[in-house]
Amino acid sequence: MRILGRGSEDVTLEERRTRLRPYYYLEPMQLEDVPEVSQLDHRCFSNPWPQSAYRRELVSPEGNFYIVLRQRLPSAQMRESEGQESRFSLLSSLFRSESEHADPIVGYAGMWIRAGEAHVTTIGVAPELRGKGLGELLFVSLMEEAIARDAEWLTLEVRVSNHQAQSLYEKYGLTRHGIRRRYYSDNGEDADIMWSEPLRDTEYLKRIERLR
């Protein structure tokens, strides 16, 4: 079935439905994003960071990398030309150069990069949007930045009970190399310490590329 689009353009019903779906895009986290990130952090975790911690991280971009994931809602899409569509429904990692502050932040992630080591500090996705591959997009974006900055390894801590996150990290070649006892202050849960294979290893990079 075809329906009349804007002007004289004909579009299928499925094409119009596609244009009405929300899509997602990534941006560098800015200081003005911190209050909204903090609100989401409180929804994602029982031991959220204080806003001051995010602000401290953002003033040293040479040693840190923090990003936000924004959701473009259908009402905003309809204000754009119908011919301009994003493909992040298919997990595109497009970064926008200009912030579109009307679009809510639905995810965030960050890491330290020091002395050849990329250390993931946080990854969060709005609870109602989990299971859509958005956490994977954020993690892969961190990994890509670590490679671009010539880090040799990537490491992180993960709750021993968080099997879903562990499976994601294992998918990208991370393995367990220790445990931090009572690492999480909210309930005293232990954390598994996971490390990637060498990020400068050609074969490992090829495997990562095939997974993206």
Residues identified as active-site = 157, 169
Q: What angle in degrees, to the nearest 10, is found between the helix axes of 34-44 and 51-58?
A: 130
Residues near 16 by Cβ (< 8 Å), separated by ≥ 6?
3, 5
120 phi and psi angles, rounded to 5 deg: -70, 125
Q: Which two tokens stand for residue 136?
A: 């994977």
Bridge partners of 11, per DSSP, are: 3
Q: What DSSP line would sit under 103-165, residue for residue? A: SPEEEEEEEEEETTEEEEEEEEE-GGGTTSSHHHHHHHHHHHHHHHTT-SEEEEEEETT-HHH
Residues near 97 by Cβ (< 8 Å), separated by ≥ 6?
none
Strands 64-72 and 105-114, how do they pair?
antiparallel
Q: How many CB atoms lie within 10 A of CB 162?
A: 14
